[in-house]
Amino acid sequence: MSAGPGRAGLVLAAELIFEKSRPGRHGLSLPALDVPLSSPPKALTRKEDCNLPEVSELCVVRHFTRLSSWNFGIDLGSYPLGSCTMKYNPRVNEAIAQLPGFTNIHPYQPEELSQGALRLIYELEHALSEISGMDRVSLQPAAGAQGELVGVKIIRAFHESKGNPRKKILIPDTAHGTNPASCTLAGYEVVTIKTENGILESHTVAKLMDNDVAALMLTNPNTLGLFETEIKEIAKIVHDKGGLVYCDGANLNAIMGVVKLGELGIDVMHFNLHKTFSTPHGGGGPGAGPVGVKKILAPFLPSPLVEKSNGLYKIYPVGKNSIGRVKGFFGNFLVLVRAYAYIRALGAPGLKRTSQMAVLNANYIKARLKDSYDLPFDEIEKRPCMHETVFTDKKQQQYGVTTLDIAKRLLDKGFHPPTIYFPLVVHGALMIEPTETESKEEIDQLVDSLIEISNEAKENKKLLKEAPHNTIVGRVDEVGAARKPKLRWRP
Amino acid sequence: MDYTPHTEKNIREMLDKIGVKNIDDLFSNIPDQIKLKQQLDLPQPLPEPELVSHCKELSSINTTLNDKGARSLVGFIGAGTYQHFIPTVVSQLAGRGEFLTAYTPYQPEVSQGTLQAVFEFQTFICQLTGMDVANASMYDGASATAEAVLMAHRILKNRCGVVFALTLHPEYQEVIRTYLSHWESSNFQKIGWTSSGEIDLALLKKALEKEPAAVVIQSPNFFGIIEPLKEALELIHKSGAIAIVVNNNPTSLGLFEAPGNLGADIVVGEAQAFGNEIGFGGPHVGFFATKDEFVRTMPGRLVGETMDNRGQRAFTLTLSTREQHIRRERATSNICTNQGICALKASIYLSLLGKEGLKQLASLNYSKSEFLKSLLKKEGKISFPFSGTTYNEFVLKLHGNENETYKKLIKEGFIPGVTLSHWYPELPNHLLINVTEIHPKSELERFTEALRRVAT
């Protein structure tokens, strides 16, 4: 019997919903027409019907329930996907986000009629400011990458206000792919900093820093799970040349209540509420990527912000220096509601314990796995890690087994694999982030399963090469999918 | 409540295995002088019962729309996000933890549910818009529109500039400006409207002489009017520009011609109207569709059909070399997380609605809106500034002051719509009114009577 919870079982097939269509069926009862029927001019009307599937309500329920059973989620088991912070998404937050007083309110209804919503936005902004040490926070961006775009636009607007937008942004080679993509989108040239031994060193930054550099964009803790210890010195070097420092807050889960990024020389950062603050990822969103800034950058924040005056919460008109709006309305409000509820449930002691337990779990995994899997840098081996750690497939490669094989075999054992082949600077990376909500038993099962896999690599390589065996589909032909893209159903 | 499961004994055992004395040792790499000396200044933690009652209290301060709640008013407010009836099935299914607590489907073997649902969403969007290919979703209609303008510039590398109709949702206009803020302002051309409330085709023709890369037209436009897409698209194509059509209430596509069937190059918009709440403006779900020939310049995630090594049909993320996690600074967009669950809700809703349901729904919206118009047209103190065909939203002009009328109508139990003067100072005392299938005839009549009482 394998160490993990993975077992083979009965799965039910589901064709595409379009393939289940039978003319004349429907699954929705609309209100009757109680006014005279009107029709628009023929020249404007649709000539051919839109062929939506014709299915019953039960058919829809079974279809999507079956689809859901083909998914792995946090509610099913450990999901140690590095840099993604797949922690438990408290169910109470789902119920709160479905309160009619939050779902049935319109962004353009008068402020006096939305005081509860505006107060929530106001209080969440203040909580995020307190947690991060930033002075103001815009809750508008829809996701981390949009937060980055906002941050970089703010950097540009700041430099423009001084007469020169500057040309380049420095980004370490360990950064998330969205970092350079966001800089390009904002019209900057990206200069990649080669990191030695997994850590950003101040002398490397000093060599690259000049008056053309608008900002340094880093992630702290970085994607190798290491705290950038020289952060203050590095920030000073950048500031001395008139540059700004951006922090990707994807890894904030490691440091809540321990340090404040705003006190370390960071000028602008984004949060991922769908990581650190437990809002569900939803198989790819919606998230929320608020942006925090220090005072000097506050005038450039996107609209709208909420202020309190005379006991009333008001939508603050956008100033002339604002970078403008990046999204319709107030951002992903119902995601903000979930994050607000999470912060209110945990409070200061809960947030600090969250970071402590996240770090404890990652270090425990590192300690238990370091004999079976290779750690890529001396710094990773030597230091305690933060909330995540990175291994490689170096020890398994001698048997012809790669990171991909290890990941696919872990599926059979009943776990979602770690993030693989990222960060790019680590060959064959396996980036593990257990999060604070996993119990010791779950973590032990995960570790035992990974050790079993490292033994299987020696003894039964074929088992890994052909993995996964227990999943509803086997290894998927991704190359074929890209060569001849079939991106929709056609009758 | 902090959701961490460890007992003191667990922690002790784990620290021993790691080989440190206490938790603080794990943070020893962070220099002491930068560590916080005090606890964060946040409100006290709340146990679940208190958390729920606190949040209920906050939510109950808000006035809701059309839900018969204690503070609910009858609302006719749309302007880019629309209240339609949402069947119970939608939230029940979309709330399943297997969908809700999964990440982006990077491991296709354990993500077939999400992947097939996205493939179905892509198909739904293609069917509705009449386009060849659609992506997994965008943040919202506004950012999808801005991304479409960027994409047009990837297709037409030798051209620069965008023309947009002033009847494009004002926030979408703002978002285009923000995304392209490092451009010269001469690259933006705005086109006004005619007395019908439609885009001024003569002005469009003139703007096209500057050879812009893209033209953006919304239909139904911000005033609710169906634009002359056929004529506009002909002009745009003659000039060689990319035609971007925006639709932020695609329930209209059950009745009005699909932009793809009229030759649009890119169709973007907002699919919130399908099964998603207005939710104070988000999360909603942007969609993005185009022609096959442009697929490799698209932003966002795409799911494709393929096979597994057992010969079964399977789905996977594909054409990822366009994306940031592979191509980094040379990616077609920086988008990563999108609006997965909202797209799933749209797919569930559209599955329930079906072919006939979509037509019925659109017809209900159109007929009810026309009915309210016909009632209001009998009132002397109101006029209709635009003559164009509308779908489920229209503009009326009050003879009296908008703020006074608005306040009085709220006292009468109605949120009458949105005043336009905030975005269009040249249109004072104009109200934008939205009617959907959720408004029974009796409410339309009561609203007309209330307006008669308060209008001056």
Per-residue pLDDT tens over the stretch B81-93: 999 999 999 999 9
Contact of B308 with B159, CB cutoff 8 Å:
no
A65 part of a folded domain: no
Q: Which of B349, B376, B399 is the last residue of a domain?
A: B349
Query: Do residue A326 and residue A385 come from a single domain?
Result: no
Whole-number percent of chain A with pLDDT over 70: 100
**What confidence tens digit (pLDDT) does each residue in A430-445 have?**
999 999 999 999 999 9
Q: DSSP secondary-structure letter at B262?
A: G
With CA atoms as reference, the chain B residue closest to A318 would be B174
Domain CATH code at residue A419 = 3.90.1150.10
CB contact under 8 A, B351 and A49: no
* Paired sense of beta strands B266-270 and B286-290, if any: antiparallel
Between CA A348 and CA A138 the distance in angstroms is 21
Query: Do residue A154 and residue A248 come from a single domain?
Result: yes
Query: Do residue B371 and residue B344 come from a single domain?
Result: no
A406 part of a folded domain: yes
Whole-number percent of chain B with pLDDT over 90: 92
B3 part of a folded domain: no
Q: What is the pLDDT of residue A196?
A: 82
Please check the confidence at residue A318 and state whether its pLDDT lies above 80. Answer: no
Query: Do residue A462 and residue A335 come from a single domain?
Result: no
Q: What is the pLDDT of residue B305?
A: 98
Q: DSSP secondary-structure letter at B98?
A: H
Residue B337 is nearest to which of A79, A287, A472, comparing CB atoms?
A: A287
Residue B396, beta-bridge partner list: B431
DSSP B174-240: HHHHHHTTTS-GGGEEEE-B-TTSSB-HHHHHHHHTT--SEEEEESS-TTSBPP-HHHHHHHHHHHT
Residue B325 is nearest to which of A44, A177, A346, comparing CB atoms?
A: A177
Whether the bond between A221 and the residue before it is cis, its omega within 30 degrees of 0, is yes
Domain CATH code at residue B329 = 3.40.640.10
| Overall average pLDDT of the A402-419 stretch | 97
CA nearest to B432, candidates B381, B391, B404: B391
| Overall average pLDDT of the A459-482 stretch | 95
Chain B: give the shortest CA distance to residue A15, in Å.
9
B53 part of a folded domain: no
Burial of B19 (0-12, 13-18, 19+ CB in 10 A): exposed
CA nearest to A199, candidates A380, A21, A456, A372: A380
Task: Tell which of B3, B294, B446 to mutate to test the A interface (max A CBs under 10 Å).
Answer: B3
A287 part of a folded domain: yes
Written as six digits, the tokens of A48 are 């051919």
DSSP B405-448: HHHHHHHTTEE--EESTTT-TTSTTEEEEE--TTS-HHHHHHHH
Query: Do residue A117 and residue A214 come from a single domain?
Result: yes
Query: Do residue B151 and residue B241 come from a single domain?
Result: yes
A400 lies in which domain range? 356-478
Query: Do residue B274 and residue B422 come from a single domain?
Result: no
How many structural domains are present in chain A?
Answer: 2
Please check the confidence at residue B326 and state whether its pLDDT lies above 80. Answer: no
**What confidence tens digit (pLDDT) does each residue in B88-129 have?**
999 999 999 999 999 999 999 999 999 999 999 999 999 999
Neighbour-count burial for B87-118, b at 16+ CB within 10 Å, e otherwise: bebbbebbbbbbbbbbbbbbbbbbbbbbbbbb
Query: Do residue B218 and residue B120 come from a single domain?
Result: yes
Between CA A370 and CA B319 the distance in angstroms is 36
Query: Do residue A341 and residue A376 come from a single domain?
Result: no
Contact of A467 with B309, CB cutoff 8 Å:
no
CA nearest to A358, candidates A85, A77, A133: A85
A464 part of a folded domain: yes
Please check the confidence at residue B67 and state whether its pLDDT lies above 70. Answer: yes
Chain A: give the shortest CA distance to residue B329, in Å.
4
Query: Do residue B251 and residue B288 come from a single domain?
Result: yes
A350 part of a folded domain: no
Query: Do residue A203 and residue A325 come from a single domain?
Result: yes
Query: Do residue A317 and residue A190 come from a single domain?
Result: yes
> Would you give the end-to-end CA distance of chain A in angstroms?
45
Q: How confident is the model at residue A8 (pLDDT cuts 50, 70, 90)?
A: confident
With CA atoms as reference, the chain A residue closest to B391 would be A40
With CA atoms as reference, the chain B residue closest to A133 would be B40
A337 part of a folded domain: yes
Choose between B335 and A483: higher pLDDT.
Answer: A483
Under DSSP, is residue A88 helix (H, G, I), strand (E, B) or coil? coil
Query: Do residue A215 and residue A306 come from a single domain?
Result: yes
What is the model's pTM? Answer: 0.97
Mean pLDDT of chain A: 96
The ipTM of this complex is 0.97
B162 lies in which domain range? 89-349
A80 part of a folded domain: no
B57 neighbourhood in chain A, CB within 8 Å: 116
Under DSSP, is residue A227 helix (H, G, I), strand (E, B) or coil? coil
Residue A316, beta-bridge partner list: A305
With CA atoms as reference, the chain A residue closest to B439 would be A31
CB pairs under 8 A between A and B: 705
Q: Which of A345, A380, A401 is the last residue of a domain?
A: A345
Q: What is the pLDDT of residue B329?
A: 80
Between CA A28 and CA B89 the distance in angstroms is 10
Q: Which of A345, A367, A385 is the last residue of a domain?
A: A345
Query: Do residue A334 and residue A366 come from a single domain?
Result: no
Q: What is the pLDDT of residue A230?
A: 95
CB contact under 8 A, B139 and A142: yes
Q: Which amino acid is at B342?
A: C
A177 part of a folded domain: yes
B57 part of a folded domain: no
Query: Do residue A248 and residue A382 come from a single domain?
Result: no
Query: Do residue B305 and residue B396 come from a single domain?
Result: no
How many structural domains are present in chain B?
Answer: 2
B5 part of a folded domain: no
Give the CA dihedral B76, B81, B85, B87, nearest 10 degrees.
-160
Q: How confident is the model at residue A1 (pLDDT cuts 50, 70, 90)?
A: low
Q: Which of B324, B349, B374 is the last residue of a domain?
A: B349
Chain B: give the shortest CA distance to residue A16, in Å.
7
A326 neighbourhood in chain B, CB within 8 Å: 143, 175, 178-179
CB contact under 8 A, A143 and B328: no
Task: Tell which of B11, B21, B32, B59 to mutate to test the A interface (max A CBs under 10 Å).
Answer: B59
CB contact under 8 A, A489 and B66: no
Domain CATH code at residue A304 = 3.40.640.10
CA nearest to B145, candidates B65, B248, B72: B248
Q: What is the pLDDT of residue B291?
A: 98
Cβ neighbors of A220 (< 8 A, separation 6 or more) are A227, A228, A231, A247, A251, A255, A261, A264, A266
Between CA A450 and CA A3 the distance in angstroms is 9
Contact of B307 with A133, CB cutoff 8 Å:
no
B258 neighbourhood in chain A, CB within 8 Å: 46, 50
B304 part of a folded domain: yes
Query: Do residue B212 and residue B300 come from a single domain?
Result: yes
| Overall average pLDDT of the A60-73 stretch | 98
Mean pLDDT of chain B: 96
Query: Do residue A166 and residue A124 come from a single domain?
Result: yes
Please check the confidence at residue A302 and state whether its pLDDT lies above 80. Answer: yes
Between CA B61 and CA B59 the distance in angstroms is 5
CB contact under 8 A, A326 and B350: no
**What confidence tens digit (pLDDT) does each residue in A263-279 have?**
999 999 999 999 999 99
Query: Do residue A216 and residue A113 come from a single domain?
Result: yes
Between CA B453 and CA B66 the distance in angstroms is 21
| Overall average pLDDT of the B270-276 stretch | 98
Query: Do residue B415 and residue B342 come from a single domain?
Result: no
* Tokens 């090594």, residue located: B309
Q: Which of A277, A312, A345 is the last residue of a domain?
A: A345
B75 neighbourhood in chain A, CB within 8 Å: 106, 109
Which helix (H) or strand (E) segment holds residue B157: the answer is none
Query: Do residue B95 and residue B153 come from a single domain?
Result: yes
Domain CATH code at residue B386 = 3.90.1150.10
Q: Which of B316, B349, B382 is the last residue of a domain?
A: B349
Q: How confident is the model at residue B456 (pLDDT cuts 50, 70, 90)?
A: confident
The tally of CA atoms less than 13 A away on the side-chain side of residue A109 is 33
Written as six digits, the tokens of B71 are 């503070």
Between CA A229 and CA B50 the distance in angstroms is 40
Please check the confidence at residue B205 and state whether its pLDDT lies above 90. Answer: yes
Query: Do residue B343 and residue B401 come from a single domain?
Result: no
Residue B382, beta-bridge partner list: B398
Under DSSP, is residue A406 helix (H, G, I), strand (E, B) or coil? helix
Q: What is the pLDDT of residue B331?
A: 81
Q: How confident is the model at residue A94 (pLDDT cuts 50, 70, 90)?
A: very high
Query: Do residue B115 and residue B263 come from a single domain?
Result: yes
Chain B: give the shortest CA distance to residue A207, in Å.
22
Cα–Cα distance list, B112 to A66, A270, A471, B102 (Å)? 10, 31, 10, 11
Query: Do residue B101 and residue B120 come from a single domain?
Result: yes
Written as six digits, the tokens of B280 are 């104070």
Q: DSSP secondary-structure letter at B265?
A: S
Whether the bond between A90 and the residue before it is cis, its omega within 30 degrees of 0, is no
